[in-house]
Amino acid sequence: MEVYKIPIGDIAENSINYLILHFKPLFVSVESSILFVNGCLKMMFLLVPPWGIIAMFVFLSWRLMGRKKSLFTLMSLLLLWNLGLWTSMMLTLSLVITAVCFSLLVAIPLGILAAESRLVGSLLRPVLDFLQAMPRFIYLIPGVVAFGIDTVPGIVATMTLAIPPPVRLTALGLTQIDKEVIEAGEAFGCNRWKLLCKIKFPLAIPSIMLGINQCIMMSLSMVVIAALIGAGGLGADIVYAINRLLAGTAIVAGLGVVVLAILIDRLSKGLIAKRIARLRGRKINI
């Protein structure tokens, strides 16, 4: 006797097809926006001479992390330039920044809503769990179905992984503020909007910036996988090496990903540390 199977796969596929069919203008506008932002970033990074980008990174490292870290930044970027990875690294950086920008446009408001509304928080929690637990390669399929094989589906697939951390950490930062501080703001006549903008959000900045850091790292890890559907960058070099079993080429491209991840992580953490130090030395005006 054949056991009846719940048609979850058919339901998911029909739902995706329904969304693509009935919300095509939305998908077209999303695609156009992503292509515009990513195109501008690629043009900027590829038109500026490598020494200009290196100087910018070294200056940021010196300001945020100190002289020793700036020396590491200089040596590592010169190494990647020497290995011929500069163009691929700039393409990867443009993909990461694009994915992070669009992810934060969605994640920060959702995190605020989750903190301000218990209902929204309860509804978002299982959705975020699902997005984080689902195998990464699964996200490539609906992206390709909706946008074809190109940069856009890779960025959209990256966003599905990059959105949950800043949503969770934004909500966490806003909900862990001392009740005494909130009560003091209410005593001074703050309404809900002013309380959020003047007190809650500034105090939650460290947690929010940590969420941004995690969003950046998740984006970087996913754009390598997204190269399977034409995203390009260092991920494309790794896929090329895997297909031809070129161990040396794969290691060199992987080194580029590692260096880029270290630089982005250290710079974002340095920015977080600077921001926290500035907040501690500043009073909140109600």
pLDDT digits (tens, 9 = 90+) for 188-240: 777 777 787 777 887 888 888 888 888 888 888 777 777 777 777 777 788 88
In whole angstroms, what is the distance from residue 227 CA to residue 221 CA?
11
- 243 found inside a domain: yes
CATH number at residue 187: 1.10.3720.10
- 127 found inside a domain: yes
- 218 found inside a domain: yes
- 95 found inside a domain: yes
pLDDT of residue 46: 84
pLDDT of residue 275: 66
Which two tokens mark 120? Answer: 């929204």
Number of structural domains the chain divides into: 1
pLDDT of residue 68: 79
99 near 155, Cβ under 8 Å? yes
For residue 5, the 8-state DSSP code is -
Q: Which residues of 44-55 are buried (b: 16+ CB within 10 A; e: fewer)?
A: ebeeeebeebbe
- 16 found inside a domain: no
In whole angstroms, what is the distance from residue 16 CA to residue 214 CA?
28
pLDDT of residue 282: 52
* Sites in the chain below the pLDDT cut of 70: 1-3, 275-286
Residue 148, SS3 per DSSP: coil
pLDDT of residue 258: 84
Question: How many Å is the maximal CA-CA distance in the chain?
Answer: 72
pLDDT of residue 278: 66
Say what the pTM is: 0.83
In whole angstroms, what is the distance from residue 221 CA to residue 228 CA?
13
- 242 found inside a domain: yes
pLDDT of residue 61: 84
In whole angstroms, what is the distance from residue 93 CA to residue 207 CA?
24
3-class secondary structure per residue, 88-113: HHHHHHHHHHHHHHHHHHHHHHHHHH
In whole angstroms, what is the distance from residue 144 CA to residue 150 CA?
8
pLDDT of residue 283: 46
Q: CB-based burial of residue 62 (10 Å sphere; 0-12 exposed, 13-18 middle, 19+ buried)?
A: middle
The Cα-based distances of 222 to 77, 204, 255, 260 in angstroms read 22, 27, 16, 14
| Segments forming the whole domain that contains residue 176 | 40-280
Cβ-proximal residues to 204 (8 Å cutoff; 6+ apart), any chain: 170, 173, 174, 176, 177
- 29 found inside a domain: no
- 27 found inside a domain: no
pLDDT of residue 188: 74
Q: Which residues of 107-116 are buried (b: 16+ CB within 10 A; e: fewer)?
A: bbebbbbbbe
